[in-house]
Structure formats: structure tokens, C-alpha cells
Amino acid sequence: MTMKNSLSAQLALEDVLAALWHARRDGNVGRLVHVGHCEVQRWARDMRDDMLTAHARALLTDCPYRNREDFLFAVDRLIAKVEHAHVQLVSHDRDPASPVRLHA
């Protein structure tokens, strides 16, 4: 991945994370569904991160949730996975000699 592509991917992921955090803080379930499923999945597919793609897809395929709290718990797990992908991406930018690993 070139530095320009890496920076573009990082900025795109930061936009997705900001949207997730904002929607989660506001409790906007509709926005969480959209960003969590569509935007995260799109970014993960572009980065060829199959595990993150699957987690984003599961946000809707694991429906119905028993209650709002169960759904928000699933969102929180997805946010943690996206944050981990961000840490991996930033770590790679600091040490480009290391291989890019977006998931553990």
C-alpha cells in the first residue's frame, strides 16, 4: 500500500469511526445501522479485511436482537473492531517495514 493510499484509507476510516462514535453517543439507532453495516463494510471490503467485513455484515444478519441493549452491545463490539483496524493501520504507517495486518 502506498503512503498516499494508506493516508486515504486512514482518513476514510477516521470518518467512519467519527460517524459511529457520534451516532452511538446520540443513541441514533438508524444511523448506527447505516454506518455500522454499510460504511464499515465498504471500507473493510476496499481494504480486503474479510473479518471486519463479516463483523459489519453480522450487525444486520444477527437480527432480530432481543432488545435495544443487545443491539447496542453488538454495535460496541463492532466499534471496538473498527478501532483495532485503525490502530493497525496507524501502526503500519509508523513502521512501514512491518506487514499490514488489519485483523488479529
For the whole model, what pTM was predicted? 0.84
Q: Tens of pLDDT along 39-95?
A: 999 999 999 999 999 999 999 998 899 999 999 999 999 999 999 999 999 987 666
**Of 103, 77, 85, residue with least CA distance to 6:** 85
Residue 104: predicted pLDDT: 44
Q: What are 58's three cell numbers?
A: 453480522
DSSP of 1-38 = --HHHHHHHHHHHHHHHHHHHHHHHHT-HHHHHIIIII
pLDDT in tens, 6-46: 889 999 999 999 999 999 999 999 999 999 999 999 999 99
